[in-house]
Amino acid sequence: MVTTTRTGARRTAVRPEQVLAFKTGNEMAALAAKQINYHVMGYYPITPSTEIAEFLDEMKAEGLHDIVMIPADGEHGAAGICYGAAVGGGRVLNATSANGLLYSIEQMPVQSGTRYPMVLNLVTRSISGPLDIRGDHSDLYFALNTGWIILLARSPQAVYDMNIIAPKIGEHPDVRLPVIVAYDGFFTSHQKRLVEHFKDDEVVRGFLGPPKTPIHALDPRHPATIGPYMNDPDLINNKYQLKMAVDAALRELPAVFAEYAELSSRLYPLVDTYAMEDAEVALVLLNSAAETAKDVADRLRERGLPVGVVSPNVLRPFPADGFRKALRNVKGALIGDRADSFSGQGGNLSIEVKAALKDDPENRTLCLNRIYGLGGKDFRFDDAEALFGEALEAARTGVVAVSYDYHGATPGQEAAAGLYPYLPPLQKEDVYQNLVQVERDEATGKVKVKVPNPRELTRRPKRLAPGHGACPGCGIFSAIEQFMRGIEGDVVVLYQTGCAMVVTTGYPYSAHRVTYVHNLFQNGAATLSGLVEMYRERRRRGELPDVDDLTFVMITGDGGMDIGMGPAIGTALRNHPLIIVEYDNEGYMNTGAQLSYSTPLGHASSTSHVGSHQQGKRFQHKDTPQIMAATNIPYVFTGIESLGRDLVEKAARAQWYARNEGMVYGKLLVACPLNWRSEERLGQRIVQAAVDCCFFPLYEIEHGITNITYDPEARNKRVPVSEWLGMMGKTRHLLRPENAKLLHEFEEEVERRWRRLKARHEHPLL
Ligand SMILES: Cc1ncc(C[n+]2csc(CCOP(=O)(O)OP(=O)(O)O)c2C)c(N)n1
Ligand code: SF4
Ligand SMILES: [Mg+2]
């Protein structure tokens, strides 16, 4: 007997019990992962895929699965963790989007070339730049040549199903390849739909069986050399075998889909066809847009128009035959691409579908290509209708007027929205005021700074205009401005991705009154070193006669000093004359408060939940100033806004060193009331408590010599660590009796680092 479920799936036989739910794509990916009970997940947060790790961490905190969740230092690191774990023979999961995929892409052929299966959820998003967090397929198209299998999921239901099918096909003995499950950022990842899932996790585990990895790195009696170098004549054979494996996936997928359908009653063909039996005109689209197009096809059918929709469930292997069959009798097809290959005469889907049709001598379909929906631009009914209209016209006239074009791009308007500079650019007399006196003391070799009274300092115009979008009580901008008060003259700023960047520059607006450059937070320091060297060289060549004495400042969050640590260290080792200022709010705040390596032990975040099986972050915080000091740059400092004179002095010293000797690094602790779960008005007090309990000591390291500039013990102001922790919602659980051991561990580490710093302060050779 055949019945239809409320989600539209056809139910054919007795099957394991399933539960009806109302969930998003990300929730379904996490649920499938929990049911599979992967061995390891290596991940790095990036919108809109981050939720998968967040949901899994939340479940982990409650003991609902055993997956080892490893927060990486960046996507490249995450890919490495996953590769290493896969080589160890268990099941491995990752999730990413956009530049996260691009940052890890170098590892993807390593994984497929050595044939280690794993699953990567690619929640598609437009790649930078400019930075755009919403969905298109520009990331996905970069994955096409990596040798990974790519399954597509148009709905949250398909996300669940494909996540269960993915290990099955990836681990097939003839395939042994890593698998991407790709679905649309926000459209599918965040919108709730009716779904069904297996009630019993064992059904999923039974379907997959134990992981199958014939050769792994954890069997000393059968040692294996994994990844020897391979020149010609062998490499071409390796690639041919890879192609054979992808071909095998094409052969095996129908059987895997059928086996899954037996269990779930949801059958996925390689190519999904909708109303195509007698269609003369078709739209060919990937993922969520195809669902919109189906509704529009229904409406056009009511008007007697013979239209249908074609959408693949698999992109690698490319189901060429499925497309040939689906389009054989179609007169006009419009193939939509949510990413362009810029003058490639179509996006990748269009080019590949056309190539497939060319191999069918009977095919006469006229093909058009339209690039649509970039950067998450909505694909609505009228868009689908317009595209059907173009295809119908081609079918009617037998002519393709324009074969490759954009749909939905609009010409810009001059003076859009009546934009005008709210504040004029800063003039020379605004920024050169000689407010702070700086000179090197030849006797001691130290740089001496004389700071005027605070009222005098307010004469310095702000480099940031008011009106940006930071949360109430955010500590970032007041701290940066306080730092900038010590900086004389013109500055060029580079902001790495993070709250400070996001809330000050939403096109077409900018809160920056000085020249501002953004680069993603894995590479800002390298970018600024290039810029500063170009400045110096153009000055040397006499090309910038009127531009003198620029100070280059990079603003980064603590997260930026995780993923961007390599370029920051590289910049320090090359000793470029620039200043890196890290504002540390103890987490990846603009992406939803995931842990950073600077998040302290036990602190709660969206990837270090508190529950019956987990009490916040599992490892100690990173000591970034000490890491940077180890590069032997001339000046390193820490500071907070409320000890303003101290910070202004350090800023002036930083500028002197950047002008005269080389790179400077400074770290400011700033409040994030939203994610610290604290009162907005208490930010300064909490930060002061962090200093007074010696968690965040204020000091500087000038030419390797440490100087504590504010000693709470000497001032009789030291408070217990617990006093600071009790001020924030994210840490109050640490004060519960059952967490006494964890609290003690943290207090001991704070004490150890403080004592070590004091010893350095007291002894110039340490
Ligand atoms: C390659 C890459 N990976 C991940 C992201 C997502 N992302 C942007 S900013 C950010 C966190 C930034 O944290 P931090 O530097 O501490 O700044 P905050 O948001 O706390 O101000 C993340 C994870 C990205 N844009 N690009
Ligand atoms: S999330 Fe936190 S750091 Fe970001 S703007 Fe809001 S308060 Fe500031
Ligand atoms: Mg941060």
pLDDT grade, residue 223 (50/70/90)?
Answer: very high
Is the CB of residue 682 below 6 angstroms from any atom belonging to ligand 2? no
User: pLDDT tens digit string along 584-612?
Assistant: 999 999 999 999 999 999 999 999 999 99
CA of 503 to the centre of ligand 2 (A): 9
User: pLDDT tens digit string along 111-146?
Assistant: 999 999 999 999 999 999 899 999 999 999 999 999
DSSP alpha helix (H) spans, 173-228 = 201-208
CA of 609 to the centre of ligand 3 (A): 17
- Mean pLDDT throughout 702-718? 98
Burial 256-282 (b: 16+ CB within 10 A, else e): bbeebbebbbbebebbbbbbbeebbbb
CA of 623 to the centre of ligand 3 (A): 14
Ligand 1 atom showing the smallest separation from residue 598 Cα? 16
Distances (CA, A) of 184 to 103, 154, 227: 19, 7, 34
pLDDT grade, residue 412 (50/70/90)?
Answer: confident
Q: Closest Cα to atom 1, ligand 1: which residue?
A: 100
Chain length of the chain: 766
CA of 53 to the centre of ligand 2 (A): 21
Omega before 600 within 30 of 0, i.e. cis: no
Is the CB of residue 674 below 6 angstroms from any atom belonging to ligand 2? yes
Is the CB of residue 335 below 6 angstroms from any atom belonging to ligand 1? no
Is the CB of residue 557 below 6 angstroms from any atom belonging to ligand 1? yes
Collect all residues with Cβ–Cβ distance below 8 Å to 410 and sequence separation of at least 6. none
Is the CB of residue 559 below 6 angstroms from any atom belonging to ligand 1? yes
Is the CB of residue 313 below 6 angstroms from any atom belonging to ligand 1? no
Q: Is the pLDDT of residue 60 over 80?
A: yes
Is the CB of residue 706 below 6 angstroms from any atom belonging to ligand 1? no
In this prediction, residue 2 carries a pLDDT of 39
Q: Is the pLDDT of residue 3 over 50?
A: no
Mean pLDDT of the residues in the chain: 96
Alpha-carbon gap, residue 555 to 457, rounded angstroms: 21
CA of 674 to the centre of ligand 2 (A): 6
Beta strands in 704-752 (DSSP E): 705-710
CA of 567 to the centre of ligand 3 (A): 18
Q: Is the pLDDT of residue 480 over 60?
A: yes
Alpha-carbon gap, residue 218 to 735, rounded angstroms: 41
DSSP string, 520-568: -TTSHHHHHHHHHHHHHHHHHTTS-TT----EEEEEEETTHHHHTHHHH
Q: Closest Cα to atom 4, ligand 2: which residue?
A: 499
Q: Classify residue 321 as exposed, middle or buried by CB count within 10 Å of its CB (0-12, 13-18, 19+).
A: middle
Question: Count of H helices and E strands in the chain?
Answer: 26, 29
pLDDT grade, residue 411 (50/70/90)?
Answer: confident
Is the CB of residue 503 below 6 angstroms from any atom belonging to ligand 2? yes
Q: Is the pLDDT of residue 476 over 70?
A: yes
Mutate which of 495, 499, 591 for ligand 1 pocket (most atoms within 8 A of beta carbon): 591
CA of 726 to the centre of ligand 1 (A): 27
Strand (E) or helix (H) holding 394: helix 381-397
Q: Closest Cα to atom 3, ligand 2: which residue?
A: 672
Nearest ligand to the C-alpha atom of residue 471:
2
CA of 682 to the centre of ligand 2 (A): 14
- Mean pLDDT throughout 546-572? 97
User: pLDDT tens digit string along 653-672?
Assistant: 999 999 999 999 999 999 99
Q: Is the pLDDT of residue 377 over 70?
A: yes
Alpha-carbon gap, residue 595 to 592, rounded angstroms: 10
Q: Is the pLDDT of residue 6 over 80?
A: no
In this prediction, residue 206 carries a pLDDT of 98
In this prediction, residue 717 carries a pLDDT of 98
pLDDT grade, residue 417 (50/70/90)?
Answer: low
Q: Which residues does residue 10 pair with via DSSP β-bridges, in sequence order?
A: 4
Helix axes 201-208, 25-36, angle to 10 degrees: 70
Mutate which of 585, 678, 730 for ligand 2 pocket (most atoms within 8 A of beta carbon): 585
User: pLDDT tens digit string along 564-574?
Assistant: 999 999 999 99
Is the CB of residue 589 below 6 angstroms from any atom belonging to ligand 2? yes
pLDDT grade, residue 415 (50/70/90)?
Answer: low
Alpha-carbon gap, residue 155 to 25, rounded angstroms: 7
Is the CB of residue 672 below 6 angstroms from any atom belonging to ligand 2? yes
Is the CB of residue 590 below 6 angstroms from any atom belonging to ligand 2? yes
Alpha-carbon gap, residue 364 to 179, rounded angstroms: 34
Q: Is the pLDDT of residue 212 over 90?
A: no
Ligand 1 atom showing the smallest separation from residue 45 Cα? 23
Q: Is the pLDDT of residue 83 over 50?
A: yes
CA of 188 to the centre of ligand 1 (A): 22
List the structure tokens of 81: 């963790």
Is the CB of residue 50 below 6 angstroms from any atom belonging to ligand 2? no
In this prediction, residue 13 carries a pLDDT of 54
pLDDT grade, residue 8 (50/70/90)?
Answer: very low
CA of 591 to the centre of ligand 1 (A): 6
CA of 425 to the centre of ligand 1 (A): 29
Percentage above 90 pLDDT, the chain: 92
The answer to whether 111 touches 86, Cβ cutoff 8 Å, is yes
Is the CB of residue 394 below 6 angstroms from any atom belonging to ligand 2? no
- Mean pLDDT throughout 309-313? 98
Question: What is the SS3 assignment for 625-668?
Answer: HHHHHCCCCCEEEEECCCCHHHHHHHHHHHHHHHHHCCCEEEEE
Q: Is the pLDDT of residue 9 over 80?
A: no
Alpha-carbon gap, residue 663 to 553, rounded angstroms: 10
- Mean pLDDT throughout 291-318? 98
Distances (CA, A) of 714 to 157, 384, 412: 62, 71, 61
Name the CA radius of gyration of the chain, rounded: 29
Omega before 48 within 30 of 0, i.e. cis: yes
Mutate which of 101, 122, 496, 497 for ligand 1 pocket (most atoms within 8 A of beta carbon): 497
Q: Closest Cα to atom 1, ligand 2: which residue?
A: 589
Ligand 1 atom showing the smallest separation from residue 499 Cα? 21
Alpha-carbon gap, residue 6 to 514, rounded angstroms: 57
Decide the pairing of beta strands 664-669 and 698-702. unpaired
pLDDT grade, residue 155 (50/70/90)?
Answer: very high
Ligand 1 atom showing the smallest separation from residue 588 Cα? 13
pLDDT grade, residue 14 (50/70/90)?
Answer: confident
The HSE-up count of residue 404 (CA atoms within 13 Å, CB side) is 15
Q: Classify residue 507 as exposed, middle or buried by CB count within 10 Å of its CB (0-12, 13-18, 19+).
A: exposed
Collect all residues with Cβ–Cβ distance below 8 Å to 227 and sequence separation of at least 6. 110, 114
Is the CB of residue 596 below 6 angstroms from any atom belonging to ligand 1? yes
CA of 589 to the centre of ligand 2 (A): 6
CA of 586 to the centre of ligand 3 (A): 5
Ligand 1 atom showing the smallest separation from residue 496 Cα? 15
In this prediction, residue 10 carries a pLDDT of 46
CB atoms near residue 428 (< 10 Å): 10
Locus of tokens 């408060």? 593
CA of 735 to the centre of ligand 2 (A): 25
CA of 476 to the centre of ligand 3 (A): 10
User: pLDDT tens digit string along 486-531?
Assistant: 999 999 999 999 999 999 999 988 999 999 999 999 999 999 999 9
Decide the pairing of beta strands 179-184 and 281-284. unpaired
Is the CB of residue 585 below 6 angstroms from any atom belonging to ligand 2? yes
**Widest CA span in the chain:** 95
Is the CB of residue 499 below 6 angstroms from any atom belonging to ligand 1? yes
Q: Classify residue 571 as exposed, middle or buried by CB count within 10 Å of its CB (0-12, 13-18, 19+).
A: buried
Alpha-carbon gap, residue 535 to 548, rounded angstroms: 9
Q: Closest Cα to atom 6, ligand 1: which residue?
A: 46
In this prediction, residue 167 carries a pLDDT of 98
Decide the pairing of beta strands 366-371 and 307-312. unpaired
Alpha-carbon gap, residue 321 to 301, rounded angstroms: 26
User: pLDDT tens digit string along 243-269?
Assistant: 999 999 999 999 999 999 999 999 999
CB atoms near residue 718 (< 10 Å): 15
The answer to whether 24 touches 156, Cβ cutoff 8 Å, is yes
